[in-house]
Amino acid sequence: MLKTAGLVLGSLLAFVTLAAAASANVLSTALGGNASKPSASALADIPPNYLALYRKAADTCPGLDWSVLAAIGKIETNHGRSDLPGVHSGANYAGARGPMQFLTATFHSVIAKHPPPSGGSTPASPYNPHDAIYAAASYLCDSGARGGHHLYRAIFSYNHADWYVAKVLAQARTYRSTAPGTGTAPRPTARRALSYAEGQLGLPYTWGGNGPAAGDPGFDCSGLSKAAYAAAGIRLPRTAQEQWHTGPRLPRGTALQPGELVFYGNTSSGSGGIHHVGIYVGDGQMIDAPSRGKPIRIEPYRWRGDDYAGATRPTSPQR
């Protein structure tokens, strides 16, 4: 059972078939290390009182960008504008209430540990935007968003579905300004590659696999990166080692952008040194076909004891 339940009935009905096939066709992107600024899209779509609350509430959790809260508010109830059951009174089909769609027990558990500041209802109410948004920030923070290290896990705790996480990250990107210092928009080819790769979330890792289109149940790591960039019009060789040599490689210390390939292995060991590749999606995460018995998923691209070798930015057009 979800700890919180989203008002996503309409979205769920539209996505359930895709989710079953792991084809959530959305784009995850970097959040950056500092609070971002609202984009023109955010200013046009988010009611001013909600925008102010998202930004203030996010400040209570270091590493949580306000755009993530805003994306959840958009997906759940269109920033409280939805007239579906449970938004302004009562509960939805899952028992969730208010603009951020909390289960009653979860809401009270959160505010018992993190009482919202003054400005909301007395007592605090899941129907009050002020109380609900501050509670959502606290819930995400406790679930892994603090420091920005486990944002995927935090969003997943809000609604246990990979497609939901990807949809939140995609919506958050549209709400952030791409002015210098506030984030970088993925290149068109990278966007198409990511869109394809995220459509494969949940498929099984398959050694030597090239995906359902090739008659395989899933992909291995380099099969996924090859297929993703083929969908974007860029031809890559088949193995991780060959893809590493194809480049172009990024200098060490270069800030990664969504869509770049991240590699693992010993680059000084000659041929065969690179053994794994993932597709960077931002926020320190990658789309990964990890190993036998594990599905294609989003997970951190760095971990303790890894053998990270570097990254490339595929650019060669397919002929």
Listed by start position, the domains of the chain span: 9-175, 188-312
Domains 9-175 and 188-312 share a fold: no
What homologous superfamily does CATH list for 188-312? endopeptidase domain like (from Nostoc punctiforme) (3.90.1720.10)
Which fold does the domain 9-175 belong to in CATH? Lysozyme (1.10.530)
Count CB atoms within 10 A of the CB of residue 200: 24
**R_g of the chain computed on alpha carbons:** 20
Q: Which two tokens stand for residue 163?
A: 């497609």
Q: Which two tokens stand for residue 77?
A: 């109830």
Instruction: pLDDT tens for the chain, 319 residues: list them.
Output: 244 444 443 333 333 223 322 222 333 333 434 478 898 889 999 999 999 999 999 999 998 999 999 999 999 999 999 999 999 999 999 999 999 999 999 999 999 999 999 999 999 999 999 999 999 999 999 999 987 668 888 999 999 887 788 788 878 888 887 543 334 556 789 888 988 888 888 899 999 999 999 999 999 999 999 999 999 999 999 999 999 999 999 998 888 988 999 999 987 755 568 999 999 988 788 899 999 999 898 888 999 999 999 999 998 554 3
Residue of 118, 126, 151, 189 lying closest to 282 (CA atoms):
151
Count CB atoms within 10 A of the CB of residue 128: 19
